[in-house]
Amino acid sequence: MGQTGQDRQGVEVVKYYYVMCQKGSVVHRAYVQLDPESADILHDALEENYDMCQVCDVKRSEVDPELVI
């Protein structure tokens, strides 16, 4: 991810992220709005507790409204 979390004017940048995590046969999927630093923290926390995880930024047009939390 590696982004600063702020735009050139110092305004916090909030993006949509697709979050998927799996433990055994159970898979959780969601879209969330986060700043890049929080997305990194979420990824690290999920990585410690799940067999597999993915946190990646997506365009708003790619977001499934049924999965937004």
Give the pLDDT confidence of 3-45 residue by residue, as tens digits: 445 666 666 789 999 999 999 999 999 999 999 999 999 999 9
- Closest Cα to residue 26, out of 55, 58, 49? 49
Per domain, the residue ranges of the chain are 15-67
- Predicted pLDDT at 4: 43
User: Which of 27, 24, 29 has the alpha carbon at shortest distance from 62?
Assistant: 29
Provide mean pLDDT across the span 42-65: 97
pLDDT of res. 13: 81
Q: What is the mean pLDDT of the chain?
A: 90
33-39's contacts with Cβ under 8 Å and 24+ in sequence apart are 35/5, 36/1, 36/2, 36/3, 36/4, 36/5, 37/5, 39/1, 39/15
Model pLDDT, residue 3: 42
